[in-house]
Amino acid sequence: MVRREDEMRKRARGAVLTFMAGLLLGAPSAQALSPQELCFREVINVPGSSFQQPPNVDGVIDQDLGWTGAFRYEFGNGSLRSSVVTQGIRSNSRVYLSFEVHKDTDFNNQDVILLGFDLAATSSERFHLFAIYPVHTGTGAQLDRAPRQVHYWRSSTTNTVGKITWGPRLSQPPWMNIKVTSVASSGGPTSKPSSFFVELEFVLNSEEEPRVISFPQTSNFGMYFEVIPIIPTPVPGAVTYQWPESAAPLTPGTVSLETKVPLPTQWGTSNFGSTGCGGVSFGPSDITTNNIPINKISLDNPNIFSVRLHNDSIDGSGNPVPAENVRARFRIANFGLPATESWKDVPAAGNPTQPQTIPTNDAGTLSTGPWQLDAGEREEYRINYHQCILVELDSVSLDGGTRTTFTNRSAWTNMEFGPGSTYESSAEIATRGYQLPEGMSRHRIDLLEARHFELRPHLEKTKGLDSSQPDAGGEIDQALKPREAPSYLSEMTWLFHGYRATNSHVIIDGIKHEILLPVGSFGYVIQHQLTQEELDQQREPSQHWNLKVNGLKEIQLSGQSSPNVRAYRAEIPDGQVARIDVQAQYSDKPFPPPMDGCGCRRLRSSGTIGMLGLFLLALFTRARRRRGND
């Protein structure tokens, strides 16, 4: 998103700085979309005693250098931590995958990971599907780090419409090793979200087990995975994060978990590097404008949008290759949860940009021509001064040759700075472009709200006596000098995750759940710099914050959940938008908790509270992101 240069002068809320970058495969023409591809590179680890050592499959992913060089696919949510992260790498005798799943709610027996492989002609049993249930309700992973249960299906046949006809359900095969760890939220105001971590190991060859899975070594194979955490909306819903993201359009009705899997023709492509790895990638810091600061849009001066792209493509022999005929399209929408048709092209000359070749092991920049806002646009963006910028990349095949592979699907960051005694903001929840589910007269979008409070140290430049440095004559200089002085920040993270109802259902381990589609997130990280007097009076950080949400109906969550997790519902006519208004205040004196025991109570409609040093970072995303091979 963007910062309007005159908003700091005109609004107490301050300026806006928000970016959202999305990467889409394929050209927006009649050409078919390129299939998504994830490449299992060979283990390298790092130089030294661990060189070429694979990951240690113990359920502990962080700090394991065996994942160095793995592909990394992230389902981002706009916060500092993605909802789901998947990695993959291989050795000569093993294939390794990992899944990190971060939830704002507790663990559930029906949290499940689906993983499918299409081995084509390399195996007499072509299709393999695994349903991994990692955790137990309320407690997470067990001491032995084994998953709660694993179901396994295999098949070599499809029906007349191309759906896989699965054989009988089996248990976990001996050539598959799985370990799980978890970190549970304490439910307190300073606790982090619950998370679980899964590491998988497939044996490629074994004298003891003749029925090992047989991955092709020199050709492509199909892969599909879907992570389904359960969230406690009034009726627990199954949120789906799937790769490829374009697979399996939903159909009304109720399906079992294995029959929910899309047609194998919709699965993504994987390989062991024989046809090349890597590709073009970019991150949020790579999207800029020609203004100062570089992430501002000017209301009065011409704006040029740019994205810096990085290319680490290699061919099947491991040689670096250029990325040819890459172009970028810049689009804009109001802050919140834009729907597919909320975006409109930035009306700049040269948008989309001209195709450009990105050199090997290098970076290139794609830029639009200038966009000078006219009087109508200036007025529109003064009213809707929070904006998102979406960047779409494609590769144009000018001569029928191979099009470029992209190694990340999206990346974003949105920030908003708002000095003042009270912060107020609004966000839109759009529906234009969504298909209205069969049997529903309105779109139903639930927002799961999560709050986290923290008191942490902060260093700032102050003036004071600094006697640490002698002068030229060896005497102590007692002059006033800038020095680092410690202080503290009271920080409140406030996130809203959106989920769209589908009126379709899936049966997971015998229990029926409505399928929910994540439509993005937005939120705020508010930091209040404390004076010494405020620090002396500081109690539990959550008791100093007053938060208010207007515009949506609050709904009850099913089961037990943290008092810092709440839910809201929007029921929106097709093609229309709903609006959510939020307000945050900080007080140096703690507020008593409300009757429901939550550490934050609703604001009264009048009155403001003085605040020192308040600034806010607003976070948003609509798409998921994929980072390439690290």
Residue whose pair of structure tokens reads 């290319």 in the numeric block:
311
Q: What Å distances lie between residue 308 and 60, 166, 255, 324, CA to CA?
A: 34, 45, 43, 15
The whole-angstrom separation of Cα 358 and Cα 346 is: 23
The whole-angstrom separation of Cα 239 and Cα 113 is: 11
CATH number for the domain whose boundaries are 39-275: 2.60.40
The continuous run of DSSP H or E covering 24 comes out as none
Greater confidence (507 vs 189) lies with 507
**What letter does residue 360 receive in the DSSP assignment?**
T
Share of the chain above pLDDT 90, in %: 37
**What local confidence, expressed as pLDDT, does residue 218 receive?**
86
The whole-angstrom separation of Cα 484 and Cα 287 is: 32
Greater confidence (33 vs 60) lies with 60
Dihedral pair phi/psi, residue 185, rounded to 5°: -70, 140
**What letter does residue 32 receive in the DSSP assignment?**
P
The whole-number average pLDDT for the span 153-163 is 93
In the predicted structure, residue 537 carries a pLDDT above the cut 80: no
The tens digit of pLDDT for each residue in 569-606 reads: 999 999 999 999 998 888 766 655 443 332 222 222 22
The tens digit of pLDDT for each residue in 472-516 reads: 344 434 444 444 455 777 888 888 889 999 999 999 999 999 999
The whole-number average pLDDT for the span 278-291 is 79
The whole-angstrom separation of Cα 66 and Cα 190 is: 32
**What local confidence, expressed as pLDDT, does residue 94 receive?**
93
DSSP string across 490-554: EEEEEEEEEEEEEEEEEEETTEEEEEEEEEEEEEEEEEEEEPHHHHHT--SGGGGEEEEEESSEE
Identify which of 77-86, 327-336, 536-545 has the greatest average pLDDT: 327-336
The tens digit of pLDDT for each residue in 400-433 reads: 455 566 655 444 444 333 333 467 888 899 999 9
Burial grade of 482 (CB within 10 A; 0-12, 13-18, 19 or more): exposed
User: Are both 7-20+278-415 and 39-275 of the same fold?
Assistant: yes
In the predicted structure, residue 98 carries a pLDDT above the cut 90: yes
The residues that bridge with 208 in the sheet, in sequence order, are none
Query: Closest Cα to residue 19, out of 312, 286, 346, 302?
Result: 286
Compute CA 482 distance to the chain's CA centroid, rounded to the nearest angstrom. 40
Q: Assign 324 a pLDDT band (cuts: 50, 70, 90).
A: confident
Q: 4-13, 189-198, 445-454, 615-624: lowest mean pLDDT where?
A: 4-13
In the chain, the N- to C-terminal Cα span, in Å, equals 27
Greater confidence (283 vs 502) lies with 502
The tens digit of pLDDT for each residue in 328-338 reads: 999 888 878 88
| Domain boundary assignment for the chain | 7-20+278-415, 39-275, 422-466+478-625
Q: What Å distances lie between residue 546 and 324, 329, 616, CA to CA?
A: 53, 41, 15
The continuous run of DSSP H or E covering 376 comes out as helix 375-383
H and E: helices and strands count for the chain: 3, 36
Q: 130-144, 180-194, 260-274: lowest mean pLDDT where?
A: 180-194
The whole-angstrom separation of Cα 330 and Cα 392 is: 7
The whole-angstrom separation of Cα 151 and Cα 519 is: 29
In the predicted structure, residue 244 carries a pLDDT above the cut 80: yes
Greater confidence (484 vs 453) lies with 453
Specify whether domain 7-20+278-415 bears CATH 1.10.3470. Answer: no
Q: 28-32, 211-215, 387-391: lowest mean pLDDT where?
A: 28-32
